């Protein structure tokens, strides 16, 4: 036994499965890193350099993610109903009410400072009171109108795609957090499968020590470990019983857990109330949404003027009253886009949307569910396999030269 342990040839052969395990681990680790990093292209485009596969095709990957999940687990109408238009209206009123005097003063001092400063305090108070009294009904009408037309006003797919395409770090996080267990399995399994391949490689080398054996097996290890890991993650699609064992793709087994992780990110960081309102106001139908706000808010000026409307119109001039109405509408648009910058409110509404999305996502079929993570491997998968194969081949050559002292020529 002592003579065996002191025999250099013994350690040379023992190094074969160990190096194969390292090749499997390192090539799988590199494949995962190259999938997500770097976020921006490093090198000299188009060929000399690299950008992570997901970030390099951020818009396409975002679209795939939306089509595979959000479009199947909640319509625009359903999402808006879960946010609850009545709660939105109540929040706007709650936000505006304490600042009525501030908003009125800001508008009047901007447009008609002399008129407003010379107005008796009792008259200004009457204006404040009328605005405060009229606002709730006008806001309710506006939110109801938006709710009835939400399908046309909000392009939810475009909204999510724009958000993810502009924030590659967030896009990466969705895949990394949802597939955290699977990515760790891919990396670690490279070591296990690589070691098993190494044992076969060692036997072949012992029986047939041809110069091509070690490089060829290095290439096979770099390619096969990744391929096997991917198939273990996504296959079989449905659960199969083999004796006491239940076999199913690792990712598919975790559907409830992944659904919670994915939906939490989407509802708390993408489909927030603030983001949805901004998407409505700034999106493709933004002009219509803004006109809708102005239509519902402009009557506030008429109602506030009340009995003195004729005198007010006379005081402001023929176009002044119309200008005031327009300014009130613009202020209402501004308020609607800033009223939801409240972390507590947004978190509460996010939870409401999250509950229905998780439930729907858990109910997806295995074929539909795998589409959440599978595309990040399928996109340019051949490049990753070739890189792994090349590195495995290079490691095999190094092993041949430096461990076994073989000459290449």
SS3 240: strand
Better-scored residue on pLDDT, 335 or 321: 335
Instruction: Identify whether 409 is part of a domain.
Output: no
Instruction: Identify whether 408 is part of a domain.
Output: no
Instruction: Identify whether 142 is part of a domain.
Output: yes
> What are 144-186's pLDDT values in tens digits?
998 999 889 888 888 888 888 889 999 889 888 888 888 888 8
What is the reported pLDDT for 384?
65
User: How far is the C-alpha of 16 from the C-alpha of 50, rounded, in Å?
Assistant: 31
Instruction: Identify whether 407 is part of a domain.
Output: no
Helix axes 381-398, 8-36, angle to 10 degrees: 160
> What are 237-279's pLDDT values in tens digits?
777 777 777 777 777 888 889 889 988 998 899 888 888 888 8
Could you list the residue range(s) of the whole structural domain that residue 33 is in?
Answer: 6-402
What is the reported pLDDT for 329?
79
Instruction: Identify whether 20 is part of a domain.
Output: yes
Mean pLDDT of 120-132: 84
What is the reported pLDDT for 82?
86
Q: How many domains does the chain have?
A: 1
Instruction: Identify whether 188 is part of a domain.
Output: yes
Instruction: Identify whether 1 is part of a domain.
Output: no
User: How far is the C-alpha of 55 from the C-alpha of 39, rounded, in Å?
Assistant: 5
Q: How many CA atoms lie within 13 A of 300 on its CB side?
A: 32
Instruction: Identify whether 333 is part of a domain.
Output: yes
What is the reported pLDDT for 308?
46
What pTM, to 2 d.p., does this model score? Answer: 0.79
């Amino acid at each position: 036994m002592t003579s065996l342990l002191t025999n250099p040839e013994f350690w040379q052969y023992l190094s074969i499965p160990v190096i194969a395990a390292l090749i499997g681990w390192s090539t799988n680790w590199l494949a995962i890193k190259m999938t997500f990093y770097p976020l921006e292209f490093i090198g000299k485009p188009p060929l000399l350099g690299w950008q992570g596969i997901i970030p390099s095709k951020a818009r396409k990957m975002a679209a795939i993610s939306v089509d595979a999940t959000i479009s199947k687990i909640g319509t625009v109408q359903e999402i808006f109903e879960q946010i609850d238009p009545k709660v939105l209206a109540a929040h706007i009123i709650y936000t505006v009410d304490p600042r009525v005097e501030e908003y009125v003063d800001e508008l009047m001092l901007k447009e008609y400072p002399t008129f407003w400063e010379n107005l008796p305090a009792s008259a200004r108070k009457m204006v404040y009171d009328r605005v405060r009294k009229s606002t709730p009904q006008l806001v309710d009408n506006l939110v109801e109108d938006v709710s009835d037309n939400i399908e046309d006003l909000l392009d939810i797919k475009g909204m999510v795609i724009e958000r993810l395409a502009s924030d590659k770090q967030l896009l990466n996080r969705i895949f990394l957090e949802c597939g955290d267990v699977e990515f760790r399995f891919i990396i670690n399994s490279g070591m296990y499968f690589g070691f098993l391949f190494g044992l076969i490689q060692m036997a072949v080398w012992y029986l047939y020590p041809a110069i091509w054996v070690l490089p060829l097996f290095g290439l096979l290890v770099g390619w096969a470990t990744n391929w096997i890991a991917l198939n273990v993650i996504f296959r079989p699609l449905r659960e199969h019983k083999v004796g006491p064992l239940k076999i199913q793709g690792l990712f598919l087994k975790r559907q409830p857990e992944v659904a919670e992780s994915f939906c939490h990110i989407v509802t708390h960081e993408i489909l927030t109330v603030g983001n949805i309102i901004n998407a409505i106001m700034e999106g493709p139908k933004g002009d219509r949404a803004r006109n809708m706000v102005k239509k519902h808010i402009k009557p506030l000026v008429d109602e506030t003027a009340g009995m003195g409307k004729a005198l007010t119109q006379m005081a402001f001039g023929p176009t002044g009253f119309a200008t005031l109405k327009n300014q009130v509408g613009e202020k209402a648009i501004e308020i609607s886009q800033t009223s939801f910058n409240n972390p507590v409110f947004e978190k509460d509404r996010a939870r409401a949307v999250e509950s229905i999305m998780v439930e729907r996502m858990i109910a997806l079929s295995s074929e539909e569910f795998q589409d959440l993570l599978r595309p990040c491997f399928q996109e340019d998968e051949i490049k990753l396999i070739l890189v792994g194969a090349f590195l495995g081949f290079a490691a095999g050559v190094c092993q041949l030269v430096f461990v076994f002292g073989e000459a290449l020529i």
